[in-house]
Structure 1
Amino acid sequence: MEEKKRANPLCVIILVLLALIYFVPVLMMLLGSVKPQYQAARFDLSWPDEFLFTNYAEVIQTGKIWNGYKNSVLITVPATFCAVLFGAMAGTCISRRNDGVAKKGYYYFIFGLTITLQIASTFSLLKFLNIYGSYFAVICLFIAIRLPFTIMTFCSFVKGVPREIDEAAIIDGCNPLQLFFRVLMPILKSVTLTNIIISAIDIWNNFMIPLFFLGSSQKWTIPLAVYNFFGRYSREWQHVFAVLTLTIMPMLILFAVLQKYIIGGMTSGAVKG
């Protein structure tokens, strides 16, 4: 058996230091969320003089956090689902075709990665379609923004899947939809989960699109609820830390559970295709 390569001690030390740099603000936030006001305002890593978990109860009662959670879920879940589904279907179709239409379609979508959202023209379009201020409008915008990256990753991954799998499925009587959902999708598990994580985090944390395109404050997502809360309680940092903890916790849990798939999904297809 081959001996396992030992990690370079210097490399390990550097990685640990980098991890600490990223972890320090998170630890400061977690500790600050249960500190008294005078201690939270110091912005340090000192241990709380007393643990005030009532900070979370006060934030939930006064900060409209549950309403922000509800709105974020109503937007994030369908937008992520549609972006990943449509991106997977388009990426698979493009990668399996060798004609000029597929290549033009691929570059058309990839060009979307370089284009920034034009607020004025998008606002006018949503007004013209009479959907401005609705969840549906914001969901459509997020789907359009996430599609280019999703299609690019699925194209790269599917190019590494042997075409013989498709041929065998067709011989067994699969139609195109059965081929995609029953044969290819299980193979695309890692890249699918990667896109789910990245899209969900991006949509959940987005601030500008809900701010500009959701007409009512009752429809504000969790980042806007945090912004509104900070405006009213800018000096009460224990509450600010508590609301920030509640905001990032769902995505932090999602990342922790599925993070092992990110590297596999991002690097798949990097050699072939």
Structure 2
Amino acid sequence: MRTKVLQNGLKNAVVWATSLVMIAPLLLVVVNSLKDNVQASSMGFDLPHSIHLENFAVVIEKGKLGHSLWNSVLYSGASTILCILLSALAAYVYSRNRSRLNRIAYLFVILGIAMPFNYFTLTKIMQATHLMNTQIGIILLYAAVQIPFSVFILYGFVGNVPKELDEAGIIDGCSPSRLFISVVFPLLKPAVATVFILAFLNTWNEFLLPLYFLNSASKWPMTLSVYNFFGQYQMDWNLVSADIVLTSLPVVLIYLAGQRYIIAGMTAGSVKG
């Protein structure tokens, strides 16, 4: 009994220590975002002598975060919706028609999870299609990046949907598209919620793609705005910290609101596949 108590205590201590290590950078940024310029120059964990909420107003005005926020919401939202639509259709076809060709196509798609980018080739393609430095171009890129993992998640979940539902829909006169939209897709809500949250967060945090393929500052998402703001105000750590807090806040809120959907979708789709 005593050994079990010691083991549980040790496990809890390890979990708490790991949590503190993970959350320490966030706490450091939050604390320093409330300090003045002089006190924040040391970037320490000491509490602010007085709270300076005006740091956030200065960042919003000088960093033009309002426009960058709109760009991030546009890119993340549009690319995630496009990713879900294409991934769900692909996963349905691959899972329901498990021919050798579809199996090869499925494996080819999910290779994108591990395969690295070739930015030189991608740049040539973007230039040839006149998508360089365009909002539609970056949305398509974001969607393409998220499709492999999304197909992987949805493929396993579609496999858990009984085929008898397809047969019942066909008997009732459903066309293939109607069958997918009205019968199968509504049953994929847990997996779709998981894909939406993960794809949205990954797109929101993406840095390299807009850095390489968006040359106009008016089209930059919040990640590039933080990078540009740091270059201009790198000596003002209170403002830099406030900028990071404002950029990270939507991601944290979305993750906290949707973490139960992530767990439910990942576990439900892991039974088959």
Give 1:209 deviation, angstroms. 0.6
In the alignment, the residues of structure 2 paired with residue 9 and residue 261 of structure 1 have an alpha-carbon distance, to the nearest angstrom, of 30
Asked if the contact 2:157–2:191 (Cα under 8 Å) also holds between the matched residues in 1, the reply is yes
1:102 pairs with 2:98:
no
Give 1:171 deviation, angstroms. 2.4
Match of 1:81 in 2: 81
Give 1:148 deviation, angstroms. 0.8
Give 1:47 deviation, angstroms. 1.7
Aligned residues: CA RMSD: 1.7
In the alignment, the residues of structure 2 paired with residue 164 and residue 10 of structure 1 have an alpha-carbon distance, to the nearest angstrom, of 49
Match of 1:19 in 2: 19
Structure 2: runs of 5 or more not aligned: none
Asked if the contact 1:126–1:137 (Cα under 8 Å) also holds between the matched residues in 2, the reply is yes
In the alignment, the residues of structure 2 paired with residue 77 and residue 67 of structure 1 have an alpha-carbon distance, to the nearest angstrom, of 15
1:29 pairs with 2:29:
yes
Give 1:268 deviation, angstroms. 2.3
In the alignment, the residues of structure 2 paired with residue 252 and residue 180 of structure 1 have an alpha-carbon distance, to the nearest angstrom, of 33
Asked if the contact 2:84–2:150 (Cα under 8 Å) also holds between the matched residues in 1, the reply is yes
In the alignment, the residues of structure 1 paired with residue 144 and residue 160 of structure 2 have an alpha-carbon distance, to the nearest angstrom, of 26
Q: 1:130 corresponds to which letter in structure 2?
A: H
Give 1:79 deviation, angstroms. 0.5
Q: TM-score, normalising length from structure 1? A: 0.93
In the alignment, the residues of structure 1 paired with residue 178 and residue 165 of structure 2 have an alpha-carbon distance, to the nearest angstrom, of 13
Match of 2:250 in 1: 250
Match of 1:3 in 2: none
In the alignment, the residues of structure 1 paired with residue 15 and residue 175 of structure 2 have an alpha-carbon distance, to the nearest angstrom, of 49
Q: For 1:223-272, what per-residue CA distance to the aligned partner results, in whole angstroms no more than 9, with x for missing partners?
A: 11001100011111100110001101111111111111112212223233
Give 1:100 deviation, angstroms. 1.4
Q: 1:91 corresponds to which letter in structure 2?
A: A
Asked if the contact 1:78–1:139 (Cα under 8 Å) also holds between the matched residues in 2, the reply is yes
In the alignment, the residues of structure 2 paired with residue 92 and residue 11 of structure 1 have an alpha-carbon distance, to the nearest angstrom, of 41
In the alignment, the residues of structure 2 paired with residue 101 and residue 72 of structure 1 have an alpha-carbon distance, to the nearest angstrom, of 37
SS state at 1:8 partner: helix
Q: 2:18 corresponds to which letter in structure 1?
A: L
Match of 1:48 in 2: 48
Structure 1: runs of 5 or more not aligned: 1-5
Q: 2:60 corresponds to which letter in structure 1?
A: I
Q: 2:30 corresponds to which letter in structure 1?
A: L
In the alignment, the residues of structure 1 paired with residue 181 and residue 41 of structure 2 have an alpha-carbon distance, to the nearest angstrom, of 53
In the alignment, the residues of structure 1 paired with residue 269 and residue 221 of structure 2 have an alpha-carbon distance, to the nearest angstrom, of 35
Q: TM-score, normalising length from structure 2? A: 0.93
Give 1:52 deviation, angstroms. 0.3
Match of 1:115 in 2: 115
In the alignment, the residues of structure 1 paired with residue 131 and residue 24 of structure 2 have an alpha-carbon distance, to the nearest angstrom, of 43
1:210 pairs with 2:207:
no
> Number of residue pairs matched?
268
Q: For 1:89-135, what per-residue CA distance to the aligned partner results, in whole angstroms no more than 9, with x for missing partners?
A: 11111101121121111011012223222222111112112221101
Greater Cα offset, 198-207 or 170-179: 170-179
Asked if the contact 1:134–1:215 (Cα under 8 Å) also holds between the matched residues in 2, the reply is no
In the alignment, the residues of structure 1 paired with residue 180 and residue 67 of structure 2 have an alpha-carbon distance, to the nearest angstrom, of 37
In the alignment, the residues of structure 2 paired with residue 207 and residue 171 of structure 1 have an alpha-carbon distance, to the nearest angstrom, of 49
Asked if the contact 2:191–2:269 (Cα under 8 Å) also holds between the matched residues in 1, the reply is no
